[in-house]
Amino acid sequence: MDNNQIEEMIGLAIEQLAYAYTPYSGFKVGAALLTSGGKYYTGCNIENAAYTPTNCAERTAFFKAVSEGERSFQAICIVGGKDGVLTEYAAPCGVCRQVMMEFCDPETFRIILAVSKEQYDVFTLKEMLPLGFGPLNLA
C-alpha cells in the first residue's frame, strides 16, 4: 500500500462519520475496507438502545462485503471520535478484531488508525490481536 491509497482510505472512512447513528454515546466511527481485488466497502457504527445489538463500523463494512461475496481483504482504515471530532485513534474492539481474524491473514492484513490524512499509524492484525483464534485453529 502506498501513501496515496492510505490517504484515500482515510478520506473514505472520514466520510462515513456523517452516516453514524450514535444517539446514546455520540461517539461516531467510520471505516473503509479494501478487498484484495481493490474494491472498497465502507461502514459506520450503528447504536441501539439495548446496546448489545449495536454494530461497529468495522463489522458493518465487513458484513456488507461478505454479503456481496467478498472473502479476501487487504486493509481497513478506522477513524472515530466524540461527535465526529477526530482527536485520537479509535482502535477496533475485540469483537471486530475477531471478525477480521475470520477473513484476514493476521500477518499481512493492515489496520490503519487515523486522526487525519497526515496523522495515522499502520498495524498488522497480528499486532492488534497477537494470539488470535481463527479458522486455522479448527483445521
The answer for residues whose C-beta is within 8 angstroms of residue 54's C-beta and 6 or more apart is 45, 46, 47, 48
Would you call 58 a catalytic residue per the annotation? yes
Closest among 20, 32, 33 to 84, alpha carbons compared: 20
112 near 92, Cβ under 8 Å?
A: no
Catalytic residue among 7, 58, 70, 127: 58
Beta strands in 1-139 (DSSP E): 27-35, 40-44, 73-82, 110-114, 120-124
Q: Which residues does the annotation mark as catalytic?
A: 58
